[in-house]
Amino acid sequence: MGLFKVIRKKLGRWFSIPWYPFAISAYPVLALMATNVGQVDIEAGIRPLFFSVVLAGLLFFVLWLFFRRVYKAAFLATLWLALFFSYGHVYITIDEKYPDSNYTLWLAVAWIILFLLTLVWVTRPRLTFASSTVTLNVVALALLVMAAWEIVPEVESRSAHALA
């Protein structure tokens, strides 16, 4: 029973640190690699993965300098990363549904408004976002595990073929 308490305490401490912006920034690259695992070398995703995580770290750091609150900075960085990575998907979805219309400017304006609304929401003084850290860390970890679940078997099979 003592070992269980030690493990739970260490996991609780690890999951109470807001590392989810970094995991969320890595997920789109890993998901794209997982979708195209048979057509693309895994090494082709290392540089985009690195830059995505580094840029998320820079965004998080700048927001932390602005807020001086780690939980608010992490939450806003995650929202902005989600908006950034979802723009192309929304654009393609609208383009497929309405191919004859030109909506690029409207979509860009809508995204800027969403960026500003998230900033206004997160800067409210009574909100700390500390209680959402564990949940967002678990969700981010689950996303990474699902993407890695698709990638790892392909990497193992390629390394087995290379040894043969």
Instruction: Look at residue 162 in the predicted model and tell me its pLDDT.
Output: 57
Please give the share of the chain, as a percent, with pLDDT higher than 90.
68
Q: Which residues of 114-151 are buried (b: 16+ CB within 10 A; e: fewer)?
A: beeebeeebeeeeeebeebbbebbebbeebbeebeeeb
The sign of the CA dihedral 93, 32, 147, 82 is negative
| Tens-place pLDDT, residues 42-89 | 888 999 999 999 999 999 999 999 999 999 999 999 999 999 999 999
Q: How confident is the model at residue 92 (pLDDT cuts 50, 70, 90)?
A: very high
Q: What is the DSSP string of 2-62?
A: HHHHHHHHHHHHHHTS--HHHHHHHHHHHHHHHHTTTTS-GGGGHHHHHHHHHHHHHHHHH
| Tens-place pLDDT, residues 97-122 | 998 888 889 999 999 999 999 999 99
| Tens-place pLDDT, residues 122-150 | 999 999 899 999 999 999 999 999 999 98
Per domain, the residue ranges of the chain are 2-163
- pTM (predicted TM-score): 0.86
- Count of CB atoms situated within 10 Å of the CB of 19: 16
